Amino acid sequence: MGRQTRPLSVAVHPVDRHVGQVLRARRRALQLSQSAVAARLGISFQQLQKYERGTNRISASALHGLSLALDMPVARFFEGLVAPESPGDARGRDLVAEMVAAPEGPALAEAFLNLPPGPIRNRLTALARAIGTGR
């Protein structure tokens, strides 16, 4: 079911990455383990990990199964998908979805939003940018 793998030299397609991030965010929102969702689909948890990373493409039948297992419409997997030529982000990334899908993302977002708007948030953002770029 949807076990199309790519050679190591081929980059993950932005659509596959996005769909995987939506999958991971929904699974976490429902507080389901990878093993629990994989069992519902009849696949291994490793296969589900590959779906979440976007390293394995999800077939139409697996996507349908995921929509049933996660109680969400198939179209939801594609909501917020940013086209590569979009002026918002030239790399075709949905930064909000990436943030939520990251292991520390929800906790970081919550902590950031608990800060009062103003200089503290600005300094924290500057610090994160400096660390992220290595400056």
Two tokens, residue 111: 């902590």
Band (4; pLDDT cuts 50, 70, 90)? low
Angle at 44 between CA 43 and CA 46, to 5 degrees: 130
List the chain domain ranges. Answer: 4-102, 104-135
**Residues 1-20, mean pLDDT to the nearest whole number:** 70
Q: How far apart (Å, rounded) are the C-alpha atoms in residues 118 and 32?
A: 36
Q: Coil, strand or helix: which one is 62?
A: helix
User: Tell me, which fold does domain 4-102 have in CATH?
Assistant: 434 Repressor (Amino-terminal Domain) (1.10.260)
pLDDT above 70 (res 40): yes
Q: What is the pTM of this model?
A: 0.61
Q: How far apart are CA 131 and CA 76, in angstroms?
A: 33
Among the listed ranges 6-15, 86-95, 111-120, which one has the minimum average pLDDT value? 86-95
pLDDT, residue 26, reads 93
Other C-beta atoms within 10 Å of 89: how many?
A: 13
Q: What is the mean pLDDT of residues 112-131?
A: 89
Per-residue model confidence (pLDDT) at position 10: 64
Question: What are the tens digits of pLDDT across the range 64-99?
Answer: 999 999 999 999 999 888 665 544 454 556 677 778
